[in-house]
Amino acid sequence: DAGITQSPRHKVTETGTPVTLRCHQTENHRYMYWYRQDPGHGLRLIHYSYGVKDTDKGEVSDGYSVSRSKTEDFLLTLESATSSQTSVYFCAISENRASGANVLTFGAGSRLTVL
């Protein structure tokens, strides 16, 4: 199994505070993703990265920023957390198969509660 570690696994914070979630991989995969999962919405892509310092927005990127300074780390930052960002956040990695498709492997998730 791919080695993906998310931290912290659980966090409770207050509205207006900054929050950073970390995703660390040991697989040297090129592609990394941040998703959020909410009841009734399934998984939604926040941001993704296709290489060091190469990132792009997903469908729900407002209020989030990301950074990838090393292949193994992908950080998700909420500059000023809001209650609407209470969610479970999943990091995923993928290898680029020869066919060009990206098969995703997920981390264990980080549960964030914004009070």
Point out which residues bind another protein (CB under 8 A): 31, 42-45, 48, 50, 56, 58, 88, 90, 96-97, 99-106, 108-109
C-beta closer to another protein: residue 24 or 106: 106
**Least distance from another protein to the Cβ atom of residue 109, Å:** 5
Nearer to another protein, 53 or 99 (CB): 99
Closest distance between another protein and the C-beta of residue 16, in Å?
27
CB of 80 to another protein, least distance (A): 26
Q: In what side-by-side order are the strands of the sheet with 4-7?
A: 4-7, 19-25, 73-78, 65-70
Measured from the CB atom, the residue of 3 and 16 that comes closer to another protein is: 3
Cβ nearer to another protein, comparing 67 with 102 = 102
For 38, how many CA atoms within 13 A lie in the half-sphere containing its CB? 14
Non-local CB neighbours of 60 within 8 Å, separated by 6+ positions: 36, 44, 45, 46
Token couple for 54: 């190469």
Distance in angstroms (rounded) separating the CA atoms of residues 47 and 12: 22
